[in-house]
């Protein structure tokens, strides 16, 4: 302020001196006023320059000025630099925050007070079927047009999640998207989305599994209860009693097989993957399951089946012996159960050119229609439910085979033609197979 006063006094003095030269008091006063006016104009110009610079806020290019205006520019320049650092830090935090939301498996959409999209991550855009860049500013109701979503927006019933059908599909099944809106700020809305297709599918599978297990157990229990009640209330001859006891034994054995298969599946799903330290001859495994198959054929078929075994001499496989025997036995027993009496079954190991090994079972049974093949390994899935009841299967055999093969890193395949039989095969990878030559070298 002292400098500005000095500048004003200097210009007024110079103006007065200029008027005094004319030796007239009026000119002296006019000169003083002119000096003051010049100072005011100059000061206003400096102020205007500072204000223009403040509008721009460019700390790197401050205006050239003097006096108090120079001090004001310097202080504001420092303040602008400090604010710029804070803005840059906030921008970086915002970028990190948005990057984290972009990486989220759940969708996030920000809506303004009118329901228009302000921002969206890619997950939400894919789940709801819009473009996260092109559709900024569009009304969400125009992009997500399901009636239930429009009702959800209209009546603002945001206390619960809403499930809608997504734009994509998975294996013939529509995706299910859960949506919930959370109001915030001045009538703005945060919309969260998540894909619940897998959750719903798992829940459906759980319900079906419980229902199937209950049904499978209820049927033999009903038969057992009926026979027990009959034997308790009706006098029976020895022949009838023995027949009833035999039927009861069959139903009890059926329940025991079901429980055993369920325990096997549970063990397979919860135990570590088998190692590669235990090597077993293919012929030894084949001999074991062949005896079981022949015994089953004698028990349920007259005439018995012709079962031909084809071995891979000298070949060895590694893994869990009990699991491999279970898978092989299930394939052979299925062939025996579903091939008419007197039919032909061929089973054996085949060494492949790439070093892998395949165990296969071919039968001369009725064959399976193509639409059933993808679902054969589902638990309790049956092509012919009535036929399965007759043969005593639990509906879990091929599910066990699939789990065993996956745990050993192999593959499972079914080839079948209606009226021409079926071929079931499981293949073990190269690292679990020893060819004859490798085996001989170790000996």
Domain locations in the chain as residue ranges: 2-90, 104-195, 201-270, 279-442
What is the model's pLDDT at position 372? 87
What is the model's pLDDT at position 16? 63
CATH class of the domain comprising 201-270: mainly alpha
Distances (CA, A) of 231 to 110, 220, 237, 252: 72, 16, 10, 16
What is the model's pLDDT at position 73? 74
Reduced to 3 states, what is the DSSP secondary structure of residue 102? helix
**pTM over 0.85, yes/no:** no
What is the model's pLDDT at position 443? 41
**Residue 149: Cβ within 10 Å count:** 19
Those residues whose C-beta lies under 8 Å from the C-beta of residue 329, and which sit 6 or more positions away, are 289, 292, 293
Q: Has domain 279-442 been given CATH number 3.40.1280.10?
A: no
Reduced to 3 states, what is the DSSP secondary structure of residue 275? coil
What is the model's pLDDT at position 393? 61
Segments of the chain scoring below 70 in pLDDT: 1-36, 39-40, 43, 59, 66-68, 168-173, 205, 208, 215, 277, 312, 384-394, 436-443
What is the model's pLDDT at position 344? 93
Measured distance CA(226)–CA(99) in Å, rounded: 66
Reduced to 3 states, what is the DSSP secondary structure of residue 331? helix
What is the model's pLDDT at position 438? 42
Reduced to 3 states, what is the DSSP secondary structure of residue 260? helix
CATH class of the domain comprising 104-195: alpha beta
């Amino acid at each position: 302020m002292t400098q500005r006063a000095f500048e004003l006094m200097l210009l007024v003095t110079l103006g007065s001196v200029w008027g005094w030269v004319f030796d007239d008091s009026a000119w002296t006063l006019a000169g003083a006023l002119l000096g003051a006016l010049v100072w005011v104009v100059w000061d206003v110009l400096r102020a205007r320059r500072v204000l223009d610079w403040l509008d721009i806020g460019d700390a790197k290019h401050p205006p050239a000025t003097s006096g108090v205006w120079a001090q004001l520019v310097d202080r504001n320049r420092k303040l602008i630099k400090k604010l710029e650092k804070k803005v840059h830090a906030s921008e970086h935090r915002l970028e990190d925050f948005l990057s984290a939301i972009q990486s989220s498996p759940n969708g996030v959409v920000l809506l303004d007070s009118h329901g228009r999209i302000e921002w969206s991550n890619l997950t939400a855009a894919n789940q709801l079927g819009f473009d996260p860049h092109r559709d900024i500013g569009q009304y969400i109701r125009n992009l997500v047009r399901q009636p239930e979503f429009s009702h959800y927006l209209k009546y603002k019933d945001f206390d619960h999640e809403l499930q809608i059908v997504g734009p994509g599909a998975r294996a013939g099944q529509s995706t299910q998207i859960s949506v919930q809106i959370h109001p915030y700020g001045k009538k703005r809305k945060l919309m969260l989305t998540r894909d619940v297709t897998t959750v719903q599918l798992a829940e459906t599978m759980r319900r079906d599994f419980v229902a199937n297990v209950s049904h499978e157990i209820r049927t033999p229990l009903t038969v057992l209860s009926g026979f027990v009640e009959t034997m308790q209330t009706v006098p029976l001859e020895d022949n009838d009693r023995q027949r009833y006891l035999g039927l009861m034994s069959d139903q009890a054995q059926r329940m025991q097989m079901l429980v055993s298969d369920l325990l096997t599946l549970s063990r397979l799903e919860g135990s570590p993957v088998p190692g590669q330290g235990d090597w077993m001859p293919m012929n030894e495994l084949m001999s074991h399951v062949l005896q079981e198959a022949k015994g089953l054929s004698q028990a349920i078929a007259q005439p018995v089946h012709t079962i031909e075994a084809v071995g891979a001499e000298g070949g060895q496989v590694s893994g869990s012996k009990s699991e491999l025997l279970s898978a092989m036995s299930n394939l052979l027993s299925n062939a025996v159960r579903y091939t008419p009496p007197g039919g032909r079954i061929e089973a054996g190991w085949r060494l492949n050119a790439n070093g892998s090994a395949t165990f296969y079972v071919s039968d001369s049974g009725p064959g399976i229609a193509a639409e059933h093949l993808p679902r054969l390994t589902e638990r309790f899935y049956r092509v012919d439910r009535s036929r399965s009841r007759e043969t005593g299967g639990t509906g879990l055999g091929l599910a066990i085979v699939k789990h065993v093969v996956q745990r050993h890193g192999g593959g499972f395949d079914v080839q079948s033609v209606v009226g021409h039989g079926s071929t079931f095969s499981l293949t073990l990878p190269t690292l679990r197979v020893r060819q004859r030559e490798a085996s001989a070298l170790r000996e």
